[in-house]
Amino acid sequence: MQFPAYRPRRLRKNENLRRMVRETDLSVDDFIYPLFVTPGEGFKKEISSMPGNYQMSIDLIVEEAKEVKDLGIPAILLFGIPEVKDEAGSEAYAEDGIVQRAIRAIKKEVSNLLVVTDVCLCEYTSHGHCGIVRNGEILNDITLELLAKEALTHAEAGADIVAPSDMMDGRVAAIRSNLDENGFQDIPIMAYSAKQASAFYGPFREAAESTPQFGDRRSYQMDAANSLEAIREVALDIEEGADIVMVKPALSCLDLIHVVKQEFGYPTAAYNVSGEFSMVKAAAERGWIDERRVVLEILTGIKRAGADIIITYHAKDAARWLGE
Ligand code: PBG
Each residue's pLDDT tens digit, 210-269: 999 999 999 999 999 999 999 999 999 999 999 999 999 999 999 999 999 999 999 999
Active site residue 195: yes
Between CA 205 and CA 97 the distance in angstroms is: 20
Active site residue 303: no
Q: How many residues are given for the chain?
A: 324
pTM (whole model) above 0.95: yes
Q: CB within 8 A of 241, min separation 6: which ones?
A: 172, 173, 176, 189
Q: How many helical (H) and strand (E) elements, i.e. helices and strands, does the chain have? A: 11, 12
What is the percentage of the chain residues whose pLDDT exceeds 70? 100
The confidence score (pLDDT) of residue 1 equals 63
- CB of 122 within 6 A of ligand 1: the answer is yes
Alpha helices, DSSP H, located in 137-273 = 141-157, 171-181, 202-207, 228-240, 254-264
Between CA 297 and CA 319 the distance in angstroms is: 14
Rounded to the nearest angstrom, the distance between the alpha carbon of 17 and the centre of ligand 1 is 41
At the topology level of CATH, where does 24-323 sit? TIM Barrel (3.20.20)
Rounded to the nearest angstrom, the distance between the alpha carbon of 183 and the centre of ligand 1 is 29
Q: Centre a 10 Å sphere on the Cβ of residue 7 and count the other Cβ atoms it contains.
A: 10
- The residue whose C-alpha atom lies closest to atom 7 belonging to ligand 1 is 201
Closest Cα to residue 197, out of 164, 224, 215, 163?
A: 224
The confidence score (pLDDT) of residue 3 equals 77
- CB of 273 within 6 A of ligand 1: the answer is yes
- CB of 165 within 6 A of ligand 1: the answer is yes
Per-residue pLDDT tens digits of the chain, which is 324 residues long: 677 889 999 999 999 999 999 999 999 999 999 999 999 999 999 999 999 999 999 999 999 999 999 999 999 999 999 999 999 999 999 999 999 999 999 999 999 999 999 999 999 999 999 999 999 999 999 999 999 999 999 999 999 999 999 999 999 999 999 999 999 999 999 999 999 999 999 999 999 999 999 999 999 999 999 999 999 999 999 999 999 999 999 999 999 999 999 999 999 999 999 999 999 999 999 999 999 999 999 999 999 999 999 999 999 999 999 999
Asked if 65 and 110 touch (Cβ cutoff 8 Å), the reply is yes
Asked if 161 and 187 touch (Cβ cutoff 8 Å), the reply is yes
